[in-house]
Amino acid sequence: MPQTQKHEIIMVMVRCFQTVPISYNTSLTIYPGNGRRLCPGIHLADRNLFHAIAKILWAFDLRMATDEKTGKPIVPDTSIVTGYREGLTACADKFPIKMTVRSEARRKAIEAAFVEAQEGVFKEYEGMNLWSK
């Protein structure tokens, strides 16, 4: 892949449909720690997060859900005070979203990848109790 494509800027959705330019080399998250205490897997986590977001944006058209009664968009609460759950990590409260596949060709690609994962990956873990100690 040419260097210019690898570093091509994409638009990543941040905080409910507001967009911010992010490049492939830009960290998408903020990690705790610094120096020797910084997580050694940060680069792997960043790349996996980038690829997951890129695949979602490639496959789906994401829109705000609409209220069935009024027909108006349901705007999520983005307030740092009221729009997030309390706890160890700050997670946005649940909100409805309209997610549709961008095209029939992409739907077929998603379904083919799912079948391939079922046959090549998921079967290895069938019958395993991953939640027991």
The tens digit of pLDDT for each residue in 26-37 reads 555 555 556 666
List, in order, residues 6 or more apart from 42 with CB less than 8 Å away: 27, 31
Strands 10-14 and 18-22, how do they pair?
antiparallel
pTM equals 0.62
Q: How confident is the model at residue 127 (pLDDT cuts 50, 70, 90)?
A: confident
| Average per-residue pLDDT for the chain | 77
Higher pLDDT, 22 or 47: 47
How many other CB atoms are found less than 10 A from the CB of residue 111? 11
Round to whole Å and give the CA distance between 87 and 76: 20
Higher pLDDT, 68 or 29: 68
